[in-house]
Amino acid sequence: MASIASRTALAGPALPLKARITPLAFQLQARSRKSNGAKRTLASSAATPQDEAPPEHDSRPKKVLTKAQKQFLDSALRVNQAGELAATLIYTSQNPPIIKAHPHLRPLMKHMYDQEAGHFKTFNGLLAKHRIRPTAMYPVWYAASSLLGWSTGVMGREAAMACTEAVETEIGDHYNSQVRELLVWKKEAKDKGETLGPELEALLVDIRRIRDEELEHLDHAVEQDAKEANPYELLTGVIRAGCRGAIWVNTLWFLAAMHP
Ligand SMILES: [Fe+2]
Ligand SMILES: [Fe+2]
């Protein structure tokens, strides 16, 4: 199981905030890790033999994607871009009330926002490169994400952190499913004497890094008493269902556009 320290080492320098983690936060963090054990096991199991980095000058032919695989990739990148847009909007609305009430959280909130902005930039670049049209539902995501960020921000620190915990739990699963799919493609290619190719290899690296950063946000949220939010179960249940619904709607919308 990857520790928060090891994941943070991947993501960048540790925040000063970590030095002020309370014993209660440690207990909550341990509870969260237990409840998210499946995801962490999956995350750490990613270093499988078929996942070894290819040699720099690989002479093997590059895998040719099937039509279904191309559609999966287009849909995944589009949903990822919409999700990262939503993440930046949540923090944009959530940060002012949280930082005003808890100024010591400014570095943490900025750190998480900056990482989300980086994720958004990554998927914007991939959409432009592969000529994939961004979501047509921008006004809906803008309104829903801003409302979610603002409402949990004014509810207080615990509610804001519960929002982050709920969102990152779903997004961690979402990115893990994409890593799994890419690893299946990689194994298929290897079995046929082919490679995944540099673009898909780079995408696999990007999605894993982003997933790890999302799970780092989840840990920060639990450290900051997400589980003390009231009503915790209702709040996280509604937000998690909303995330799943948004992913589902975005995927369906894309498939409908592909097959009018
Ligand atoms: Fe993100
Ligand atoms: Fe995140």
CA distances from 217 to 35, 107, 135, 195 (A): 16, 13, 25, 33
How many structural domains does the chain have? 1
In angstroms, what is the span from residue 76 Cα to ligand 2's centroid?
17
In angstroms, what is the span from residue 126 Cα to ligand 1's centroid?
15
Residue 42 lies in a domain: no
Mean pLDDT, each 10-residue run in order, the chain (260 residues): 38 36 35 40 40 65 90 94 96 98 98 98 96 90 96 98 98 97 96 94 97 98 98 97 91 68
Residue 14 lies in a domain: no
In angstroms, what is the span from residue 232 Cα to ligand 2's centroid?
19
In angstroms, what is the span from residue 120 Cα to ligand 1's centroid?
7
β-sheet bridge partners, residue 135: none
Residue 80 lies in a domain: yes
| Ion ligand 1: residues, CB < 5 A | 84, 87, 116, 119
Residue 37 lies in a domain: no
* Domain interval for residue 122: 65-258
Q: Quick one: CA torsion of 176, 182, 186, 192, rounded to 10 degrees?
A: 130
Residue 136: what are its φ and ψ, rounded to 5°? Answer: -85, -5
Q: Which ligand is nearest to the CA of 216?
A: 2
What DSSP assignment string belongs to 62-78? Answer: BPPPPHHHHHHHHHHHH
In the prediction, which pLDDT does 59 show? 79
In angstroms, what is the span from residue 191 Cα to ligand 1's centroid?
33
Q: Which ligand is nearest to the CA of 112?
A: 2
Residue 191 lies in a domain: yes
Residue 163: what are its φ and ψ, rounded to 5°? Answer: -60, -50
In angstroms, what is the span from residue 83 Cα to ligand 2's centroid?
9
Residue 5 lies in a domain: no
Residue 7 lies in a domain: no
In angstroms, what is the span from residue 214 Cα to ligand 1's centroid?
6
Tally of helices (H runs) and strands (E runs) in the chain: 9, 0
Query: CA 230, CA 90: separation in Å to the nearest integer?
Result: 19
Residue 19 lies in a domain: no
